[in-house]
């Protein structure tokens, strides 16, 4: 496929920035491979702090209820992300353009990341559009995943080189964090039921710990938990073994640095899970909760893919509210070995952008 195709990526921001985070990384990755990208977003405000510098080759467009497309040159490839539905008039214009140019259309449905078996079975499958303005077109499912039979994981071409140059003390110093050799733990979470138990565990641990708390829901959850303990159990952190640094909203690249800087990372959602894997540090994942507890199966599938040891499995289940057991002890040595082995296997595979460009070349 010759370079310079125009990709139209559509994204709806739900509530936790993961959708737009993944879409932005995809858009930047495609542009880095010589593609042109228009990213249609219903709420692009998160990009003001997530990627304030923008990216060459990526144009961000507002996705309003009704798109003004009369004078718009429709792109070559449509990508609807995470089940969002592209405006019918846009699909009709795309269909007409492909018919007039004689080009084969390509309409991709980028799905959520999962380690479940259906991702391999469904990846790449066609789905004919039978009704509406897009009737006659065909969507293809594109599933990110952890095996060669899926769409892979997002990974920048310069990631390992950037990671090798990372200066932890300098990065921390620039953020006003006085690092004295204590254990560093990052916290990016929703409201995990075992948060209070974790704080108690860290405060009573003889190893001093600094908790680097991300902005938003994690900060609100931690402050509420600390206030409750200060009120009901004033001596809970009397020795001061647990200290806190509350962080501002971070650019995507600074979030990577946060994970590289820490000895243990608590992450949530899809984008940060992948970043935690690339960071090559022990991590605990809080999965986005779904109806009927469907996320429980998704969590188990990931733990199986990770080949997680028993302690890490139990910790994940308690952290996600699947189990009411007590949090097990932190076994960072064994968890580190697990993550390093899993990361090595993923680095041996092509990244998602390479695979999606290859898929487009094959199917257009």
Please identify which of the residues 270, 271, 280, 351 carries the catalytic annotation: 270
64 and 184 part of one domain? no
117 and 177 part of one domain? no
142 and 217 part of one domain? no
Task: Check pLDDT > 80 for residue 290.
Answer: no
Task: Check pLDDT > 90 for residue 88.
Answer: no
Q: Indicate whether 331 belongs to any domain.
A: yes
By residue range, what is the domain housing residue 22?
Answer: 6-151
Contact 91, 74 (CB under 8 A): no
216 and 184 part of one domain? yes
Domain count, the chain: 2
pLDDT for the residue 18: 84
Specify the DSSP class assigned to residue 234.
Answer: G
- pLDDT tens digits, 10-37: 999 876 688 999 999 999 999 999 999 9
Q: Indicate whether 74 belongs to any domain.
A: yes
184 and 41 part of one domain? no
Element (H, E) at 108: strand 106-110
Angstrom distance (rounded) from CA 182 to CA 241: 9
Burial of 231 (0-12, 13-18, 19+ CB in 10 A): exposed
193 and 326 part of one domain? yes
- pLDDT tens digits, 101-121: 999 999 999 999 999 999 999
pLDDT for the residue 335: 98
Return the SS3 of 307: coil
Q: Where among 97, 130, 151 does a domain terminate?
A: 151
The CATH number that applies at residue 14 is: 3.40.50
Three-state SS for 191-217 is CCCCHHHHHHHHHHCCCCEEEEECCCH
- pLDDT tens digits, 343-364: 999 999 999 999 999 999 999 8
pLDDT for the residue 1: 43
Q: Indicate whether 354 belongs to any domain.
A: no
Lowest-pLDDT range of 78-82, 169-173, 179-183, 292-296: 292-296
- Whether 19 sits among the annotated catalytic residues: the reply is yes
Lowest-pLDDT range of 116-130, 267-281, 287-301, 335-349: 287-301
Mean pLDDT on 261-268: 98
Q: Tokens for 23?
A: 């879409």
Please identify which of the residues 19, 80, 116, 256 carries the catalytic annotation: 19
Q: Indicate whether 362 belongs to any domain.
A: no
142 and 189 part of one domain? no
pLDDT for the residue 3: 58
pLDDT for the residue 278: 98
Angstrom distance (rounded) from CA 120 to CA 144: 9
- pLDDT tens digits, 188-247: 999 999 999 999 999 999 999 999 999 999 999 999 999 999 999 888 999 999 999 999
DSSP string, 113-163: ---SHHHHHHTT-EEE--SSTTTT-EEEEE---SSTTS------TTHHHHH
> What's the mean pLDDT when you consider all of the chain?
94
């Amino acid at each position: 496929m010759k370079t310079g195709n125009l990709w139209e990526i559509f994204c709806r921001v739900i509530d936790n920035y993961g959708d737009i985070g993944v879409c932005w990384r995809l858009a930047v990755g495609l542009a880095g491979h010589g593609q042109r990208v228009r990213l249609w977003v219903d709420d692009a405000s998160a990009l003001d702090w997530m990627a304030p510098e923008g990216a060459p080759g990526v144009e961000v467009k507002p996705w309003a209820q009704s798109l003004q497309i009369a004078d718009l040159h429709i792109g070559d490839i449509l990508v609807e992300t995470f089940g969002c539905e592209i405006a019918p008039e846009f699909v009709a214009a795309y269909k007409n353009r492909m018919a007039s140019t004689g080009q084969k259309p390509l309409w991709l449905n980028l799905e959520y990341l999962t380690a479940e078996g259906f991702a391999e079975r469904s990846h790449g499958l066609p789905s004919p559009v039978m009704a509406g303005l897009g009737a006659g077109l065909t969507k293809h499912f594109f599933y990110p995943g952890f095996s060669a039979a899926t769409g892979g994981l997002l990974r920048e071409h310069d990631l390992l080189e950037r990671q090798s140059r990372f200066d932890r003390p300098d990065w921390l110093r620039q953020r006003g964090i006085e690092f004295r050799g204590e254990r560093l733990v990052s916290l990016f979470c929703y409201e995990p039921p075992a948060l209070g138990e974790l704080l108690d565990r860290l405060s009573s641990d003889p190893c001093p710990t600094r908790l680097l708390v991300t902005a938003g829901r994690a900060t609100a959850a931690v402050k509420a938990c600390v206030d409750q303990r200060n009120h009901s159990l004033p001596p809970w952190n009397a020795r001061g073994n647990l200290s806190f640094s509350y962080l501002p909203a971070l650019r995507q690249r600074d979030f990577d640095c946060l994970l590289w800087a820490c000895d243990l990372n608590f992450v949530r959602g899809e984008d940060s899970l992948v970043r935690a894997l690339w960071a090559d540090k022990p991590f605990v994942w809080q999965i986005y909760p779904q109806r009927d507890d469907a996320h429980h199966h998704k969590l188990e599938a990931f733990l199986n893919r990770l080949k997680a040891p028993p302690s890490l499995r139990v910790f994940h289940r308690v952290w996600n509210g699947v189990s009411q057991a007590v949090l097990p002890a932190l076994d960072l040595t064994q968890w580190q070995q697990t993550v390093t082995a899993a990361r090595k296997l993923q680095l041996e595979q092509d990244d998602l952008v390479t695979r999606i460009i290859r898929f487009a070349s094959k199917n257009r």
